[in-house]
Amino acid sequence: MDVLRKLLQAVDSGDTCVLATVAGVRGSAPRKDAARLLVSARGLVCGTVGGGEVETGALAAASEMLAGPDNGRLLEIATNCGGVVTVMLEKFAPGRRLLVVGAGHVGRAVAVAGSHAGYRVTVASPGASERTQAIAGCESVAADDPVVLDRWENPERTQVVVATGDADADTAWAVAALARPFAGVGVVGSRNKAAAIRHTAAGAGVRPDRIHTLRCPVGLDLGAVTPEEIAVSIVAELIRLDRTGEVPEGWRRASRG
């Protein structure tokens, strides 16, 4: 139970973990069924599946899973004792996060759609707490400028959608987010706004490869018009990115400017 408790604590704190569990034993082996080993991306190692070749194999597989896309593996490892140990490995990661900047009509609609899609949603806006009270499960941060991004936990698992309704504010937030390791940055806007953001980001020293990832206008090309429809197009794009890592160019939301 101590291993499982540490697993929950680690994932809650934003760590990605692999749990190795002895699922079966044939013949002689150092540990019996249900022995567990926990390995995390931040270096936590807890428990054991028996040491020796079994432990070595489980640790190597866990390291590969932490570095790659695999979410599960089943290993059969022969022991020096003459037995065979079946080890099941499962990867556990923190939940997906979405930071919506702006609590206007589109921002609130994106927050609602994101929450329904399973994201842990935070809205950043000067009046966020008042404007987001009706969104179940939505957190709010009162923020006038992007300094809040400096202390954001787990940016690599957080998508940012900027929708303040003010061109200068959108640019400031987008550039600040691009300068940090967020999973993605999208802005509600046009090609002209995208060009202005990229120009400002380059002048601020943001790496070209990060600037290239900017999505503006953000969202899939669904012909969306209303705030709710635009929110669906944006969250659909986020899901596509999270599941496959890319969005075909022809799927992107069309720009009017």
CA atoms of 18 and 62, how far apart (whole Å): 6
User: Is the distance from CB of 88 to CB of 71 less than 8 angstroms?
Assistant: no
Q: How confident is the model at residue 131 (pLDDT cuts 50, 70, 90)?
A: low
Question: What pLDDT does 99 receive?
Answer: 97
Furthest C-alpha separation in the chain: 71
CA atoms of 49 and 139, how far apart (whole Å): 40
97: tokens are 């996060």
Nearest CA-CA partner of 89 in 66, 58, 126: 58
- Which tens digit of pLDDT belongs to each residue from 194-221? 999 999 999 999 999 999 999 999 999 9
- Which tens digit of pLDDT belongs to each residue from 31-78? 678 899 999 999 999 999 987 889 999 999 999 999 887 889 999 998
Domain chopping of the chain, boundaries: 2-92, 97-251
CA atoms of 203 and 215, how far apart (whole Å): 19
Q: Does domain 97-251 have CATH number 3.40.50.720?
A: yes
